[in-house]
Amino acid sequence: MAFGYGPLDDLQNELDVARNIINPPEGTPLPIGVGFLVWLLEKNTLQAENLLAKACDAQVQAIWLSFGDNIGHWIEFIRLHDPNAGKKAAIKIFVQISTIDQALCALNNWQVDVIVAQGNEAGGHGLSDSLPILTLIPLLKGVIETAASDRQNQPPLLAAGGLARGSQIASLLALGASGVVIGTRFLLSPESLYTDSQREALLKADSSSSVRTMAFDQARNTLGWPEGVDGRGLRNDTVVDYENGLEIDTLRSRFAEGVKSGNSARMVVWAGSGVGLMNTIKSAKDITKELHEECLATLQRVSTLVQYK
Ligand SMILES: Cc1cc2nc3c(=O)[nH]c(=O)nc-3n(C[C@H](O)[C@H](O)[C@H](O)COP(=O)(O)O)c2cc1C
């Protein structure tokens, strides 16, 4: 569950929905993760503390933090407010990063539980000049192994960006990732909050229409991202107008009209570079199953390439 631009009550509502669906025994942790955009948290300290305290009180299993200059401060806050701190059920801290420096900071300064490496292919926001995931994972794997060689438990390294097939997942596991993160593929499930028109646009898109841009943040006025961050989505009329230098007020009013009428040619449609490999709408469960089976089949196929003496 990602918590973005909504008010405080939205988080409580979402936590209540999750608790009602999962129905964990009274007093036990809620087996979900909640994601926060740190630069948004940093806009209003009091609200940020209330939000994180709510997530801690709900005993969520994991908190995912990304895109902020002072992530360490919020990790400290979470650890202080976690009712299960120091116990097995303590909240697991995930941090999404894109550079070696960020990874070393997450490892050494914040001692996070899970490092998520986000490659340039990733849908949604990310570092505009981040490396492709196929380079980033072996690079970070080596850095983490060296920096944490004296530790018994090195944090898992997850790979994010452009994944649509189990064979891609198998390749990242072979490169040293402990697992993967999938974003765009799940937009093509009935569970996602995207509209039918947005899903239709994703189904029609090929991978060349996935572009990194500030067009959508300009058009919907969600500015304030850390330096170097932009968003990867489908090139549509909003992006074309922005690239052509359309005056910002007109861009914003066309965008607002597009949202009102549900026109995906104007709306934000976040999409990673793997979008061209996605052509079916399936439940989140079936997507997960399919990716898992494809990944296993790939690993088995590849293992037959090895000649045993
Ligand atoms: C619709 C959408 C929303 C996203 N929201 C967030 C977010 O709130 N916080 C975050 O750290 N990453 C966010 N991401 C990026 C994902 O964490 C992940 O890096 C990305 O989805 C992986 O690439 P893929 O979309 O190509 O699978 C989002 C991605 C998408 C597609």
Tell me the CA–centroid distance for residue 197 and ligand 1, in Å.
Answer: 20
pLDDT digits (tens, 9 = 90+) for 46-96: 999 999 999 999 999 999 999 999 999 999 999 999 999 999 999 999 999
Please check the confidence at residue 282 and state whether its pLDDT lies above 90: yes
Distance, CA of 178 to CA of 114 (rounded, Å): 10
Percent above pLDDT 70 for the chain: 98
DSSP 238-301: HHHHHHTT--HHHHHHHHHHHHHHT-TTTS--B--GGGGG------HHHHHHHHHHHHHHHHHH
Counting ligand 1 atoms within 8 A of each CB, the residue from 270, 278, 288, 291 with the most, and so the one to mutate, is 270
pLDDT digits (tens, 9 = 90+) for 210-235: 999 999 999 999 999 999 999 999 99
User: Which amino acid appears at position 268 of this protein?
Assistant: V
What b-and-e string marks burial along 151-190, b requiring 16 or more CB atoms within 10 Å of the CB?
eeeebebbbbbbbbbbbbbbbbbebbbeebbbbbbebbbe
Instruction: Report whether residue 119 contacts ligand 1, using a CB cutoff of 6 Å.
Output: no
Task: Read off the DSSP letter of residue 152.
Answer: S
State the chain's mean pLDDT as an integer: 95
pLDDT digits (tens, 9 = 90+) for 84-107: 999 999 999 999 999 999 999 999
Tell me the CA–centroid distance for residue 303 and ligand 1, in Å.
Answer: 32
Among 243, 234, 238, residue whose Cα is nearest residue 219: 238
Among 118, 192, 194, residue whose Cα is nearest residue 160: 118
Give the β-pairing of 124-127 and 229-234. Answer: antiparallel
Counting ligand 1 atoms within 8 A of each CB, the residue from 181, 217, 273 with the most, and so the one to mutate, is 181
Q: Where are the domains of the chain?
A: 2-187, 196-277
Task: Read off the DSSP letter of residue 90.
Answer: P
pLDDT digits (tens, 9 = 90+) for 156-185: 999 999 999 999 999 999 999 999 999 999
Atom of ligand 1 nearest to the CA of 162: 26
CA pseudo-torsion sign 88, 94, 95, 98: positive
Tell me the CA–centroid distance for residue 35 and ligand 1, in Å.
Answer: 10
Instruction: Report whether residue 130 contacts ligand 1, using a CB cutoff of 6 Å.
Output: no
Instruction: Report whether residue 272 contacts ligand 1, using a CB cutoff of 6 Å.
Output: yes
Q: What is the CA radius of gyration of the chain?
A: 20
Architecture of domain 2-187: Alpha-Beta Barrel (3.20)
Tell me the CA–centroid distance for residue 123 and ligand 1, in Å.
Answer: 6
